[in-house]
Structure 1
């Protein structure tokens, strides 16, 4: 605006100052997968675990998304988007109706899948003995137990199904022992005691605390006793539409991290389909690269050996696809966390706690710091790891871009790797890739004012000034390497890279060079023996 000075007086003019470059968000995660409830393919902002339960339900067995979000908040995350996916197939929950004097109580598994066909429900009475005659009578108070036949667990060595192996791991990890019911051995997975009827208290307690079952309908009456536990039936595996869930993220701004933990439950004939899982992961990596703002923490298939997980990453396991992208990373092995609702330990894929450490490290230091090591990689809520790894194991895993979870003496369970799955040595380290994503997105968001401005020296000077100020701040914070700003970065926006022919096309070029800080992945302490001599100062 050109001022008109037509009369004597004081005129106030506001002079535009440097336009600051605002840093893009780096720790807003997206979790795509199976949830108990909620809208389908609709990214929903969640800022706490309580907010998640209100929108999407509780922790569910064989629904890995809920556990990943739970661990994200436990390990330092502050906000995320959750996308519930639908079923492209004919997935069904296993179910049973417990008879009563009325219409009965229908129990479903908490998530779809044939895994629920192994479960049974046992209804038992409390008993009491009269003081006088010593007669034992049944109390009106009854208990509900979720059980599995002991032979299902004990004979699982010949059964390669993912569902069975996870139940075996659950029984073993929690030290469950067999219970005899009507002459047969069972393992009790969950127990709910002290009910007098199947009313609101019964429904609320089971549906909010069980990870295995849900009460779908009830007549409110007490279920009848049965001689033996009643089997759930009809469960069928789903074909989860993970790709549509991931594509729904294209409309969300401000995302920076991605996890799709339910890739681990992709099965074929009950067995983990690692080829299909690697294909789905690659589709997620392609999405991240196309969007330019997302970084994908991928999960390994369950129960794989060190050799198999290397084969999974390189694409030689079951004719899978190699994972090769600077926009993602792979963690191994699975982790065990404590579920306070069931007072038991549960196996989960590692992406949830890993992204929680990303958010924590971004908030306390910055995106340029690797979320790994005994401090920033410490997973406080992880109680144990599915496989104890050795230095020799990591000698195989680390060069292949597989980040390990390790249990270290004096430090506990930590993330002990900081690499992408890329074969390009420029992008070996995830902190370097995430720093460049951060800078690129920050400049993209904050330089929108430049579009349609006159492409002249004044614009070039303003852009150079603003970008240099932003990068200088990053250098001062320790994100860039160099003793001086000139060593850490350069910004070129002048006639040398904007000649007349490019200006005639409406194009403005801003060339930026960054010297990122690389993590000290290998610390070599060199010690030599000092030989005493006449000049040793002794």
Structure 2
């Protein structure tokens, strides 16, 4: 009496009399939407892996992986801090260098062993390695320490002569079975020396960040394996991304291409102190009329850097990217309060954008952080637009919702490949997508102003003629109506002593 999965036996060719139980999978597969809060940030750091996306959840996690915020352009930590203030908590951080970065190190007793920081960067300068007597007789203990970290202790390492140094290196690099893992801070390379250890502390030095000659090209990187810079974010399900402080307009078109390919909303900025006229001209020359990018005017933000102890001028990208990451994809950054903004270059001068200036920016597809906002005296994005000139596709919500739906379907519908094209296949595939969209409707992510069903799913003979079915094609046509963002609210007021009032019952329909 075998129990099998449906489709694993030929039910028309059974010979042996028996009971055959087939396990049938659920007819409707439920799709769980992909996360839309993953924010990719590419920039420099004080330490950590290079060109490798690292998952970070908060500033404490960032500090452990990459060190402290640095008061310099292109600093990744500054952008993460600005985004965290907006509630962002799911980052993919990619550290880049200009190629001059060096790992801190120390050579012990000429040629006995070399201790080298696991990664390049200045954070490792000052890390210590202490060699002492082990807990057991005739053994040694090695302690690796960094300020603010739990010390790494490798105890009871035995051996004499060069064999001892080899054993110390093995313990640090591979860990000690049943005791502890490999070091997270250093790697050790045993030399040929045989001198007995000195019971002392050695300090690593010479580490550099490789952050002095960063350019837009460095941040963009290369799309060949191993990928570098922006391209390291491929296949990470990042939904929003930014190249920290990258005001190089020659990179914008490349960023747009990457955003379209990966379903990522790229957040870009103009140079600090940029004028509206120059920004409009630069954007036009760059040719980035696309929903894949949000371009911010170079009206940079004053940020209270508590780590370095003063108010700094930083790119607006981190504030906007962080706010978007903390919003559901159907929402817009328009009129949403931004936190941690001390001021902008414009507001520090006591200036407010005129209607004419805002019109110029809006027509060009350039967003800007302003105070006041339509809702009151707070800093927020003034338009909530991407760089597209198409009024139907130029909202933050269009970019994020389109990417969310498309990449969720791309991630979940592949399980139907290899199935037989039957009425049941059409039913199950259609029901799967319908269930996903119905869930979005119930959660208020999609909808219609009149309350009608905001989606349709078609997979039948009308869009799957037999001649295409015979060639292995199956087609599903999905239409989804997004909720619109209220941008222009017109209130007509009629006042006067002769005005006639006709009271009506309020209706929400």
TM-score for the superposition, normalised by structure 1 = 0.64
Structure 1 residues 491, 534: CA separation in 2 closer, same or farther (over 3 Å shift)?
A: closer
5 Å-filtered alignment, 1:411-426, equals 411-426=377-392
Match of 2:219 in 1: 242
* C-alpha separation in 2, matches of 1:38 and 1:534: 72
State the shift of 1:534 in Å: 8.9
* C-alpha separation in 2, matches of 1:343 and 1:534: 62
Structure 1 residues 533, 405: CA separation in 2 closer, same or farther (over 3 Å shift)?
A: closer
State the shift of 1:536 in Å: 7.5
Structure 1 residues 536, 456: CA separation in 2 closer, same or farther (over 3 Å shift)?
A: closer
Match of 1:439 in 2: 405
* C-alpha separation in 1, matches of 2:292 and 2:246: 17
- Structure 1 position 378 matched with structure 2 position 337: yes
CA deviations 1:141-183 (Å, max 9, x no partner) are xxxxxxxxxxxxxxxxxxxxxxxxxxxxxxxxxxxxxxxxxxx
State the shift of 1:309 in Å: 1.8
Match of 1:524 in 2: 490
Match of 2:159 in 1: none
- Structure 1 position 47 matched with structure 2 position 57: yes
Corresponding pairs, count? 378
State the shift of 1:518 in Å: 1.7
CA deviations 1:92-118 (Å, max 9, x no partner) are 9xxxxxxxxxxxxxxxxx99xxxxxxx
Match of 1:310 in 2: 280
State the shift of 1:487 in Å: 4.1
- Give SS of 1:361's match: coil
* C-alpha separation in 2, matches of 1:445 and 1:533: 60
1:338–1:346 CA contact under 8 A, matched in 2: yes
Match of 2:35 in 1: 25
- Structure 1 position 387 matched with structure 2 position 398: no
* C-alpha separation in 2, matches of 1:483 and 1:237: 52
Match of 1:324 in 2: 289
Q: Which has the higher contact order (CA 8 A, sep 6+)?
A: 1
* C-alpha separation in 2, matches of 1:52 and 1:34: 12
- Give SS of 2:295's match: strand
Structure 1 residues 528, 53: CA separation in 2 closer, same or farther (over 3 Å shift)?
A: same
CA deviations 1:238-283 (Å, max 9, x no partner) are 4462222112222x3321111002313xxxxxxxxxxxx1111221
1:21–1:470 CA contact under 8 A, matched in 2: yes
* C-alpha separation in 2, matches of 1:536 and 1:15: 61
Match of 1:57 in 2: 67
2:69–2:307 CA contact under 8 A, matched in 1: no
Structure 1 residues 372, 438: CA separation in 2 closer, same or farther (over 3 Å shift)?
A: same
* C-alpha separation in 2, matches of 1:505 and 1:86: 50
- Give SS of 1:412's match: coil
1:432–1:518 CA contact under 8 A, matched in 2: no
Structure 1 residues 336, 499: CA separation in 2 closer, same or farther (over 3 Å shift)?
A: same
CA deviations 1:397-451 (Å, max 9, x no partner) are 1121111211127532222221110123331112112111111111111112111
1:481–1:515 CA contact under 8 A, matched in 2: yes
Match of 1:78 in 2: 89
Q: State the Cα RMSD in Å.
A: 3.3
State the shift of 1:44 in Å: 1.1
Structure with bigger helix share is: 1
* C-alpha separation in 2, matches of 1:382 and 1:517: 30
Where structure 1 has 5 or more consecutive residues not aligned to the other structure, the ranges are 93-109, 112-202, 206-218, 221-234, 265-276, 316-320
1:43–1:249 CA contact under 8 A, matched in 2: yes
User: Among residues 287, 301, 305, which one is paired with 2:258 in the alignment?
Assistant: 287
Match of 2:319 in 1: 353
2:456–2:480 CA contact under 8 A, matched in 1: yes
Structure 1 residues 484, 372: CA separation in 2 closer, same or farther (over 3 Å shift)?
A: closer
* C-alpha separation in 1, matches of 2:18 and 2:491: 77
Structure with bigger strand share is: 1
5 Å-filtered alignment, 1:102-141, equals none
TM-score for the superposition, normalised by structure 2 = 0.67
2:245–2:317 CA contact under 8 A, matched in 1: no
Where structure 2 has 5 or more consecutive residues not aligned to the other structure, the ranges are 1-5, 103-120, 123-145, 149-201, 204-210, 222-228, 504-509
State the shift of 1:527 in Å: 1.0
5 Å-filtered alignment, 1:159-170, equals none
- Give SS of 1:330's match: strand
State the shift of 1:236 in Å: 6.0
- Structure 1 position 278 matched with structure 2 position 249: yes
